Structure 1
Amino acid sequence: MKPKYLILIFALFTAFTANAQNVLKGTVYESGKNVRLPNVFIRDGNNKKQITISDDDGNFAINTETGHTLIFESPGYVSDTLYVTTLAPARIQMVTKTIALRQVDITSTRQSFDAHKEYPEVYTRSKVYPLSPSSWFSKDARDARRLKKYFKHEEEERHVDEVFTVTYVQSLVPLRGQELENFMTLYRPTYAFLKNNNGESLTVYINDSYKKFMALPPGQRSLPSLPVTGKSLQ
């Protein structure tokens, strides 16, 4: 074999090895329990291009470096950070938080999250090309498609937050404090409902939901335990 080919092979091997050595793997758990958390959004605070989400079993792998900070986010849990001092497998434990109402003040200057602008490479990698098997089956492409679904879900939830606000609900029902929080969590409308109905329909929905809420036994008006479905965004 000619020397130049040997050099090329060695260079490729070195690059692959270096890349593999910069991958941090780990598992995300609910703190205090042996419950693995799927769909936890993970990003490198020092390199915005490096993002991923945990799989069905709470496992993740992300390209990073020592000295970087990883940020873990999931609805219903306190955001956690990991300062990378080693690339040894990590065990992340996320603490559940009291579900707080997310009242959003909508103004003309409020900048909404736009995943297409923030992470355009995800949408590029998620595309499927008929003559490119890697776009169908490679881990990178599959992860990109899962992230794309995650971003779509986040966008829909933000829309619900913008419409189903504390101020609006308070104007229709006499609930306040913890009772209001319980009501808005138990009867939070779906994005599909809001998309296919107008403001008048939402008013009717809230009033009907209030009647159902008040008809519940007092013990059933509290917030349910945070569910862990074990299903990822495949």
Structure 2
Amino acid sequence: MKVLVRIIALGCIFSMVSTQLLKAQVIVTGMISDSNRLVLPYATVSNLSTGKRSLSDQGGYYKIAASRNDRIAFTFVGYQPDTITVTQTTGTQTLNVIMIAAGKFLKGVEITSQYSPYQIDSIERRQQYGYILDKPNTQLAGGSTPEGAGIVLSPITRFSKKEKQKRQFKKNYEQMEREKFIDSRFTPLLVNKVTGLRGDSLQLFMRDNYPDYGTMRTLAYNDLLYWITDRYKVWMNKK
């Protein structure tokens, strides 16, 4: 009887080991860009087989754990989603993804004249990153202990690292939204119409006179025209 129990136990262990080997982890990594070779930061990378998700960094690079035959989906606001299948069994598989710009389509939102292009994109971004933005901040383990000061890598430490990354993303997202709003109003086309500047001169003027978020929130359209005109006069006198 004891022999039979041992055989069954060994069989279970062998089965578990075999399953783990069959599902060996592959690290899928690469860079996400568009057809113009512009990198796409904070693109969402999803393992459709496991439900795990990650984001590309500011340089467009991503990394996600997977197993062979897992399907990895890539999504970014304003671009058609793309999907790849993992072919390796172990190690690292490098897959660079080139995404194609898509037409404006917002699922679940009625597109009418009441929405500006910026608002449409903002709603779309909020839908894409809501699973991160909606998570409340939690207390960091260890308080304000400096990173690298003899910290033991424990599950709590790893949790704190993820929490810091989430908070940093929220901060970056807020800054990105502010810049997107500014860029939606302070456009090359508008500045060209007001000042007549073109090419490098236009770019230099816009760089030297890039407005702050508060200014763009408070200025009505006509006031914005006057603001650009005044800035242009000052800028020309400095040349």
Q: TM-score when scaled to structure 2?
A: 0.50
Q: Deviations over 1:113-141 (max 9, x none)?
A: 2344323220244522589x969943333
Match of 1:112 in 2: 121
Match of 1:231 in 2: none
Q: Secondary structure at the match of 2:190?
A: helix
Larger Rg, first or second structure (1 or 2):
2
Q: CA deviation at 1:86?
A: 5.9
Q: Deviations over 1:47-104 (max 9, x none)?
A: 597232427x98753345765355789xxxxxxx99665671649799xxxxxxxxxx
Is the Cα–Cα contact under 8 Å of residues 126 and 142 in structure 1 kept in the other structure? no
Q: Is 1:198 aligned with 2:204?
A: no
In 1, Cα distance between equivalents of 2:57 and 2:213: 24
In 2, Cα distance between equivalents of 1:172 and 1:85: 52
The answer to which structure, 1 or 2, has the higher relative contact order (CA under 8 A, 6+ apart) is 1
Is the Cα–Cα contact under 8 Å of residues 54 and 62 in structure 2 kept in the other structure? no
Q: TM-score when scaled to structure 1?
A: 0.51
Identity %: 21
- Report the RMSD for the aligned CA atoms in angstroms: 5.2
Mark the runs of 5 or more structure 1 residues left unpaired by the alignment: 29-36, 74-80, 95-105, 218-234
Amino acid in structure 2 at the alignment position of 1:61: K
Amino acid in structure 2 at the alignment position of 1:145: R
Distance change >3 Å, CA 148–CA 86, structure 1 → 2: farther
Q: Secondary structure at the match of 1:208?
A: helix
Match of 1:68 in 2: 72
In 2, Cα distance between equivalents of 1:156 and 1:181: 20
Q: What is the number of residues matched between the two proteins?
A: 186
Match of 2:177 in 1: 155
In 1, Cα distance between equivalents of 2:214 and 2:158: 29
Q: Secondary structure at the match of 1:161?
A: helix
Distance change >3 Å, CA 84–CA 193, structure 1 → 2: farther
Match of 1:164 in 2: 186
Please identify runs of 4+ aligned residues in structure 1 that moved more than 6 A: 91-94
